[in-house]
Chains A and B, each alone.
Chain A
Amino acid sequence: MSILKDLPELVSANVITNDIARQITEYYRRKQVTSPNRQLLIFGILGALLVGIGIMFIIANQWDELPLTVKTVCAFLLLIVPQLLCIYVLLKKQDKVVWKESVALLLFFAVGANISLISQIYNINGEMSSFILTWMVLTVPLVYLLNSSAVSLAYFFCIMIYSFAARYNSRFPSEEYIYWVLFVLPLPRYFRLFNKSGEVLTVLHHWLIPFILTVTLTILSHGSKMLMHPAYIFMFGIFYFVGVSPILRNRPLIQNGYLIFGFAGTIISLLVMSFKSSWKAMSDQHYQLNNLIIAPEFIACAILFILASILLYSQNKIKRFSEWKLIEVAYLLFLMIFILGIWFPSQSVMLVNLLVFVLGLLMLREGTKLSHLGVLNTGMLVIALLVICRCFDTDLTLFIKGTLCVLVGIGFFAANWIMIKKRKENES
């Protein structure tokens, strides 16, 4: 490490004392022991993943000549060997992160392979959802016992598949609600990971969790489909607040999946609602409040709205109202527009368009103020998307539609050119 090489020079030049040099050396030595080699960790996990999948394939293909008892013993050995490896790691390599992650992931796959092999050997057919549910319940403790982020990631991915199997091919009514229980189980550990937000596996969690929530919220959609629109916008609001929370705010954008999902999700959802056709169902008698109160979509909306509002309050309580950003209250404004839409859908469509347009304009202003090309272009992109969407559903002539697109294009060039010119002037 370069700083350690420079220490003798810094001591001899009296920049730091001998004592401080020793403390620095000790700090880096401790850090090396507790934090694993990132490369080794990635290859360890990839290795476990490949070995796990490989064993599933190899054994599944070599059964033909073996008698039933041998097949059964092999299926159990496939499970017992990774279990023994885990016991070895718990006893002898408790502090080695790479070992723990690798053997835990191996056992995770071994449990799934074992259940499916036994089903195959004994011709036990069953539903996909019951297979994944059993597999997940048996492996979620590994997340805590072996403190494994790799198992946590694999678990989250598999429960996403479970949610669809349970929603669209359920064994009993309302089976899909079990998904939410499964989702909560590894969360306490994930919240503990927030303080280590720079680590690769934690960053992957920050992308995977908003992704699977975005994909799986739809399983709540039953009879009151319109309510899924506010539910999604409230959820994206929550993602945004998590993304700008003190722990993630200063992280590079690539490490902040919440911010990307929160922002992009809000804009895309608003753009979807900027179409007149998206509001068609609102005139239905079904969307009167007394008909909705026990709908799962309504309960989801209520919970997500409360969570978003708690985050809005906790993050903005020390700010003056004039310092609040429009994107932070977009979910609140949308709620008002949505309620208005029950009686006046046309006005709601106009207001959503206005909201998206103002969001884009404010980003343009912020980009100019901060002299930040990324923010500026994102603002331009929001306006451009709004113009493109309007080209689809308005009765404008082709000439006007074309002119609008050309104007937005020129806007892109002009804004970037002016910004770069301004920067050069400032530098000189």
Chain B
Amino acid sequence: MNRRRLIFIAFILVALAQLFVPWHMISKQAGTAGTGAEFKFKTESEVRRGDNLAGSSLRGKFIWLHFAENHIKIADKKEWQENQSAYVMFTEDSAGFAKIKSVTKVKPEGSSDWVRARVYVNWKDSTLLQITYPFNEYYIEDTNHQAVDSVIKNGLNDSLKVNYLKVKIKDNQFMVSDLMIDGRPFKEIINGLRKTQ
């Protein structure tokens, strides 16, 4: 086999690998969508904690969601390093919203309701371990920032409304579906606003 032919065959293999990766990403997501357990992560409205405003906010192409269930009590802060990776297991509370069951450094066994997340000790209250989930960022279609901004201000950060993100979880795989704002999907609200403009 001459050199050119070998290069050509090798390129075809590389090209197939390049196509396989995104296809695999989609199929893994579809698997999670089909068999993963759905959790509702309640978002917290804008609250003033000390000098900091906490709440969901628009950051470029995504909304940074501020979940109510984003921390857990810890016994010893020395056990945790800055920005460490940890496994967070979930269960449901009496109202049907996601609740942290445990945060461990080792992979959980016996349940598939877990994701890997970043954790760090709260700098003001060292008895709290703060968690940043991989689904904290909710991608948006960014042609209408004004409408998105208004939904965040009047919907997501309104303390009188119940807002949550639906996430299907299975063994660290997760699939984000709807962001519900006062019972209506976020996308539906944005489309409605677009039509009226």
Contacts and interface: CB of A to CB of B under 8 A. Distances in A.
B182 interface: no
Interface string A105-137: 001000100110011101111110000001000
A307 B72 CA distance: 50
A405 to B, nearest CB: 44
Please list the 4 inter-chain residue pairs (A to B) with the smallest Cβ-Cβ separation, ordered nearest first. A123-B176, A118-B22, A64-B141, A125-B134
Contact of A122 (B4, B12, B19, B29): B29
A125 B135 contact: yes
A119 B25 contact: yes
Interface string B111-143: 000001000000000000000001111110111
B148 to A, nearest CB: 12
Interface in B1-40: 4, 7-8, 10-12, 14-15, 17-19, 21-22, 25-26, 29
B137 A125 contact: yes
B132 to A, nearest CB: 11
A135 to B, nearest CB: 9
Contacts of B85: 170-172
Contact of B138 (A122, A123, A146): A123
B25 A76 contact: no
Interface string B130-163: 0000111111011110000000000000000000
A249 to B, nearest CB: 34
A8 B18 CA distance: 55
9 contacts: A61-B143, A83-B19, A111-B18, A114-B18, A118-B22, A122-B26, A124-B175, A125-B137, A145-B11
Contacts of A119: 25
A50 B145 CA distance: 26
A126 B14 CA distance: 23
A90 interface: yes
A190 B26 CA distance: 36
A182 interface: no
Contacts of B143: 61, 64
Interface residues of B, number: 32
Interface string A74-96: 01100110010011001100100
Contacts of B15: 83, 86-87
A123 B26 contact: no
A72 interface: yes
A94 B4 contact: yes
Contact of A134 (B4, B21, B26, B116): B21
Interface of A: 60-61, 63-64, 72, 75-76, 79-80, 83, 86-87, 90-91, 94, 107, 111, 114-115, 118-120, 122-127, 134, 138-139, 141-142, 145-146, 168-172
A139 B18 CA distance: 8
A107 B12 CA distance: 13
Given A61-B143, A172-B85, A75 B22 contact: yes
Contacts of A61: 142-143
Given A72-B26, A123-B139, A172-B85, A91 B21 contact: no
A79 B14 contact: no
A138 B143 CA distance: 31
B101 interface: no
B22 A91 contact: no
A138 B14 CA distance: 7
A118 B8 CA distance: 27
A79 B18 contact: yes
Contacts of A72: 26
A72 B26 CA distance: 9
B7 A90 contact: yes
Contacts of B10: 141, 145
Nearest to B142: A61
A83 B17 CA distance: 12
B25 A63 contact: no
B91 interface: no
A61 B145 CA distance: 12
A94 B21 CA distance: 27
B21 A138 contact: yes
A219 to B, nearest CB: 15
A201 to B, nearest CB: 20
Contacts of A138: 14, 17-18, 21
Most buried by B among A115, A125, A142, A168: A125
A94 B12 CA distance: 15
A232 B176 CA distance: 46
B102 interface: no
B77 interface: no
B61 interface: yes
Interface in B46-101: 61, 83, 85
Given A94-B4, A125-B134, A118 B19 contact: no
Nearest to A62: B143
Given A123-B138, A125-B134, A169-B83, A141 B14 contact: yes
A58 to B, nearest CB: 13
Nearest to B118: A169
A123 B175 contact: yes
A122 B14 contact: no
A358 to B, nearest CB: 44
A71 to B, nearest CB: 10
Nearest to A72: B26
A75 B11 CA distance: 20
B61 A120 contact: yes
B17 to A, nearest CB: 6
Most buried by A among B17, B85, B142: B85
